[in-house]
Structure 1
Amino acid sequence: MKFDIVGRIQNMRLPDGKTAILYSIYEAVSNSLHSIEDRFGSEAAKKGWIHVSIATDNDGDVDKISITDNGIGFNEENLESFETSDSRHKYVRGGKGVGRFIWIKTFNKIRVDSVTKNGRAKERVRFRFMPEKPNSIAYKRVTSASGEDYETTVELSGLRTEQKGQIRVSSYLKDLCLHFFPQFITGRLPKITIEHGDEEESLNDFIAARVGNVTSQKVSIEIGGVSYGFDFHHLFVSGTMPPGVKNSYMLTGHGRLVGDPISLAAKFDLGSLDGDKAYSLVVTGSYLDERVDQERLSFRMPTEARKLLETAVLKSAESFLEDHLAVVREKQKNTVREILFEHPQLATQVADLDEYVRQISPDMDREKIAQNLFVLLVRDEEEVRREFQKLCDLDNLTEEARERAEQILAEAENQEKHRLAELVVKRHQVLEIANMLLKFEDAEVGTYAKEQAIHDLILPMGKMFKSGDMADHNLWIIDDALAHYGFFASDKPIGAFTDAKDGKKEPDGIFFNPLGFCEEGRQGTITILEFKRPGDERATSDPVDQVLNYIEKLRDSKARGFDGEVIADIGKQTRFECIIVCELTSAVRKKLERSLAQSPTPDGEGYYGWSKEHNAAIRVVSFRKMLRDAEIRNLPLFRRLGLTSPSSRAKMRLARRLAEKDKIRIVD
């Protein structure tokens, strides 16, 4: 079989641009590392050195890269290996015999100048590497090097056009840091310096100044029935380290990084680590050494092996990050408590708070935790529903099945209790907001919230509703019965739902068909709701006259629902109930006392009356009475859940807001 070396080079899997240049440096430095190990053995890291010099042209492109070391050099054995494609000379150390092909794919010229020892004599060997020629060691010269120190320089020049890209020495320092970081951590990295222009920096010093103590752990993983040993090296590093080193784990082959680091930042919420520090994990082991591909871009290992390794990595990292995760878990527990307070029905999914938090991922924030709990709730409810359907015939059940059916009913009842609790919490929050809206927005100028704000909170403006749209409004604040009308509209022209001749008027709220049906032979009561601006000393118009005017516009018309069906035939016999919510100032009270709604309520916070002509009952309540009555109706439920008064909470929040303006600290 003939071997086409040029074709072999062209078919190699290599990136372009800066990354290709980096790989050329990586391979040259790795060769130097092997050469230093051959010379110094166990003292290689202590006695060896490597110097990388990068020269650029006027355009900032790479002109020449020189890698010099004090290793054993190109003796006859190494020279023969160098000339042999896919040499196995350094196989046990991870050498693939293809590193110099990366140089050829990236640069036009490769020169070698090496002081080595053959036999007893020192020699200086110089040559050009030209793999396209039959004898790839071209222009070889061997001279005596008596008295000279071991020193080998590999010079890469003539960057190929397709690989051109500008570089910065600081960038290359960080790139080399990432690639050789594992060897530094394991104590195998000799002194490496990088020179660019007038700058020279030490890779070792750069790393040493940015790493903490290393904690190593031996881990055994059974893969395919065979137990393999791995070493996990954990440490904290500075936030000024290259991105790949920070908050990630690195898989290595023969001590060198293979492929890209794998981020753990999200998995363990590492962005919240104290101070300017990050986490790093280096994984080494013979299993990885034996499975590095030729280009050192990945490993050849089964999917199952990758999963087992990843599981072991996450378990080991979690153990090392125990203190950090304790803080994260505590934050998550507080988050879960807040979610359960706002959504009590989710409590059925958290039997043990500590256990639940231990089972969720540390990276789960409030939104993800809420999503998880709701998914669990839906699954739980569906399971209960399916089981109950199977056991729905309670009269013909075995004793065991009957007990299970009763258990399912108890679970369903428990879920409903938690749903009711959520409704109570939501009502408490809405009342607190409503109380805030009715306080002064600015205590100095005495302005109140606009009518639209309170209107939208109770009944969103510009919409039409049906009885099932319970989640879209808070009519219970005024009267729970309002939510059970068959059809109602908010701030919509009368002409939008009736055929009235003058349909431009827009009641704040109008309700048809109480409880979703009409008594046979009778027209259902129509309710009209009108809001006036909170804090108005003088009503801009007579509110009683305003609602009676609506009735006059509606008479002798037909009201239609969403599908165009007639839902009310409005005539003189139609009964109306009018509810007016306004600020009961002295001016407004005088106006009401001269109106059809002149009778005061016993608590003095409202008025009522009757218009025979309009067949209408009129009820006027103050904003304060509306919220107070809503709170009183719900207070037993609030107390059952341990909730304080919404109006008291609103007062405290308002006081805190004012205190912040005055830089005064308020303590609950």
Structure 2
Amino acid sequence: MFAIEDRLGGKASGGRIDIRVTNRSDPERIEVVVSDSGIGLDSKRYDAFCEIDTDFKRSRGGKGVGRLFWLDAFSTIRVESTYHRDGASLQRAFDFLLNNREQVMPRFEDVEAASADCGTTITFKGLRTKEYADTFPRRSDTFLRYFSAHFIADFLVGSGPTIFIDLDGELTEYPKAVAELTVGNPLETTFDHSEFGTLKIVGFTCLAEASTGLEGRHQLHLLANDRTVETRKVDNLLGVENLERNGQSDLVFHGCVSGEYLDLRVNEGRTAFNLPERTLKDISRACMEIVKERLLPDQVAKFVKDRHQSYVSFVERYPTFGFDADELQLRRVPFHATSAEDFASGLIKYQIRREETRQSSLQALIDALDLDQVPINLEATVESAAKEIQASEQLALAQHVVRRKLSLELLDRLIKRIRARDGKEDDYHLESTLHAFIVPMRVRGDDGAELKSRAHDLWVVDERLAFTRAFSSDKRLDAILAEGGTRDRPDLLVWDLAYGLGVTDADNPDSVDVSEPLRTVMVVEFKKPGRTVYAKAEDNIEQQITKYLAQLKGGEIESFDRARVRVADDCIFYCYVVADIRGDLEQQLSSWETTSNGQGRIRQLRGFYRGQIEVIQWQDLINDAWLRNRATLHAAGLSRNRPTPLKPKAEPPPSDDDAED
């Protein structure tokens, strides 16, 4: 390239370079031929070539050692060159050898050339060592990828010569092959940095293929003396995944950075900078901030807006992370963060620090109250502590409410799905799924060996059941009662309604106080949503419930630890049937009283039994749970328009140490 520039007066765009590579799969026979239409090796340039360390091209970044790498890599090297002198076209040829005494072995020089065209051809044959043989790219796409990456700045800017690469007959033209991947005109800016001096950035929006083989989509090419030295992935620093321009989308960014600071800090082979990784990252960050501000402001602004909306949605799903103002929280996470996992991983350390600080402050306050001398600002301190506790509990409660919201949405969809199926063959599976969603089937809640019994959503049926463990779901009565019982399986039997009813040990909520008989028991039956046929005798709801109660009353429930809990003779039974009141069931319940909302049915138990049976429509069960959940949300003051939290100390943005890795 320099030879062509010398011939054409500093411009290389009118020149040509041909590269032919053959026998790539055979390291011993591989051949690389490079021909240019440059100024040729005249006497001055030949003398510079023969000198081991020369400053002939130092003004353009040349260190005079590049040709020494040829000797390290190839077994045979031959140079042939045509040049002009005093109006005549002359030729010279020589072999370049790895030799202790003479490395340049002339074949001929200053002979008359057959053609007046200047230029040089260099032929490399046979890879010398296993290290080169193992790593030399055998595939065409790999070879072109390495080549394109090394000269990407020249090709993007388009100021270099035309280069043809012939890989065993496959021809590729540069910079056309790269230029065809660009969309729109180059974007250019210059800025001054306090440490790195004046840096110039030429940016290109390209088709995604421009980054094929490179790590990441968006690239920043750091140049020294107009040659690419290092290419760095900057996806995380840019943030925007897909760029748009001239009506095209899914574009990538390639930026070429140059400046005196980089020119003076490149190694002799121009293969790396003599700079620590930390400094290279700082340069990349500084440049990408300018790119976002000056070259791609509209697309970055759209990304920032979408990112904020993603964060809002994230906090709505995971309210415990909304412990500070949106703007502050977004500054705490990497700029590229857009997913729930990104936000959570970036904020978790701040959440932990905040909780640790809060707990330490509370402990300090508690310790202060043990002292004889009460602090002067005690009232303000206690008030501040109370607000901190309230804010923390609100966030935790919000997370609880959001989880319940999703549960209700799923339950509602499941019920509608069962109704829509209307008796299809696989309805049993849907019906079992509905039951299992509310509470696992065939389990006892007080059986510690069954872990699945620990998770349920019985709060949908009754808020008092949110943490109950003393229940049986779809278990035979003869497996629950200490003696007697039949094969009948109530859908849900609960004997631990609430701590306040005196049936649990406050210090051990999973235990049952066996010293007192059970005076409150709940029985729940789930009927398939949409069911209309209740024609059989066993389908009579009142008889079915009474049959269960007859076995429970006066009996003993055997808990998991073999302790027996007697059901009191005067036990009050709260019996619920969840069903759609339609078809035969509507006729069956026609003599029952209606509930307060006019949709359900209710009847007092008669004869030997105390309590009532209430039939609740599926939709009413869901609606009531929705109202309770919404009431919790509003009562706690949980919304996106919550009061602004206390301002924390100013914090630096995240380090993003892996931003370009």
Note whether the superposition's TM-score is higher than 0.5.
yes
Task: Output aligned runs, 1:265-414, within 5 Å.
Answer: 265-274=235-244, 275-319=249-293, 320-349=295-324, 351=325, 353=326, 356-357=329-330, 360-367=333-340, 368-372=342-346, 376-392=350-366, 393=368, 397-400=374-377, 402-414=379-391
Q: Which amino acid is 1:621 matched to?
A: I
C-alpha deviations, 1:512-555, integer Å up to 9, x for none? Answer: 33323438744352322221211111247434444444455556
TM-score by length of 1: 0.77
SS of the residue corresponding to residue 122 of structure 2 reads strand
Output one character per residue of 1:416-457: Cα deviation in whole Å (capped at 9) or x when no partner: 344445544554554444443333657596778933343234
Amino acid at match of 1:459: V
Mark the CA change 1:269 to 1:79 in structure 2 (over 3 Å): closer, same or farther. same
Shift of 1:280: 0.8
1:241 and 2:224 matched: no
Name which structure has the greater RCO, CA cutoff 8 Å, separation 6+. 2
**Could you tell me how far 1:53 is from its partner in structure 2?**
2.2
Q: How does 1:58-97 map to 2 (within 5 A)?
A: 63-85=30-52, 87-97=54-64
How far did 1:278 drift?
1.1
Which amino acid in structure 2 is aligned with residue 456 of structure 1? A
Q: Which residue among 433, 437, 441 is the counterpart of 2:414?
A: 437
Change (3 A) 1:40 1:593: closer
Secondary structure at the residue paired with 2:189? Answer: strand
Deviations, residues 189-232 of structure 1 (Å, cap 9, x unaligned): 22322234555443022233333423333344444xxx533322
State the identity as a percent. 23
Task: Name whichever of 149-158 and 536-545 sits farther off.
Answer: 536-545
**Cross-structure match for 1:661:** none
TM-superposed CA distance for 1:378, in Å, is 4.4
Q: Given the superposition, is the C-alpha separation of residues 444 and 304 from structure 1 closer, same or farther in structure 2, using an over 3 Å criterion?
A: closer
Residues 53, 196 of structure 1: 8 Å contact kept: yes
Which residue, out of 584, 587, 593, partners 1:587? Answer: 584
Tell me the alpha carbon deviations over residues 91-111 of structure 1, each in whole angstroms, 9 at most, x when there is no partner. Answer: 443334443343334432211
1:459 aligns with 2:439: yes
State the AA in 1 paired with 2:336.
D
* CA deviations over 1:473-492 (Å, ceiling 9, x no partner): 33233221223545234334
Structure 1: any 5+ residue segments left out of the alignment? Answer: 1-32, 644-668
Match among 482, 488, 492 for residue 471 of structure 2: 488
Matches within 5 A, 1:145-294: 145=112, 148-159=116-127, 162=130, 163=133, 167=138, 172-185=143-156, 188-196=159-167, 200-211=171-182, 212-223=184-195, 228-243=197-212, 244=214, 246-259=217-230, 261-274=231-244, 275-294=249-268
- CA, structure 1 residues 268+611, in 2 after alignment: closer, same or farther (shift >3 Å)? farther
The CA distance in 1 between the partners of 2:9 and 2:545, in whole Å, is 99
Deviation at 1:236, TM superposition (A): 1.2
Matched, 1:533 2:528: yes
How far, CA to CA, are the matches of 1:125 and 1:412 in structure 2?
88
Contact 1:514/1:524 (8 A) holds in 2: no
Q: Which structure 2 residue ranges, 5 or more long, are not aligned? A: 504-512, 640-661
In structure 2, how many angstroms separate the alpha carbons of the residues matched to 1:143 and 1:246?
51
Q: For residues 265 and 302 of structure 1, do their structure 2 counterparts lie closer, same or farther at Cα, with a shift above 3 Å needed?
A: closer
8 A Cα contact 2:78 2:96, kept in partner:
yes
CA separation of 1:201 and 1:377: change in aligned 2, threshold 3 A: closer
Could you tell me which residue of structure 1 aligns to residue 75 of structure 2? Answer: 108
CA contact (8 A) 1:440 1:446 kept: no
Instruction: Give the counterpart letter for 2:46 in structure 1.
Output: L
> 1:609-648 maps to which residues of 2 (within 5 A)?
609-610=604-605, 612-613=607-608, 617-631=612-626, 633=628, 636=631
Whole-angstrom CA distance in 2 between matches of 1:412 and 1:578? 39
1:482-517 C-alpha deviation (Å, 9 max, x unpaired) = 235452343345577665566865432222333234
3-state SS of paired residue (1:241): helix
Matched residues in 1 for 2:453 and 2:290: separation? 50
Structure 1 vs Structure 2 CA RMSD: 4.0
One-letter identity of the residue aligned with 1:322: P
**Partner Cα distance (2:264, 2:564) in 1:** 81
1:127 matches 2:101 = no
Structure 2 CA distance for aligned equivalents of residues 56 and 34 of structure 1: 28
Q: 2:559 is matched with which residue?
A: 560
Change (3 A) 1:533 1:515: same
Match of 1:292, SS?
Answer: coil
1:625, distance to aligned residue in structure 2 (A) = 3.5
The 1:642–1:535 alpha-carbon spacing in structure 2 relative to 1, beyond 3 Å, is farther
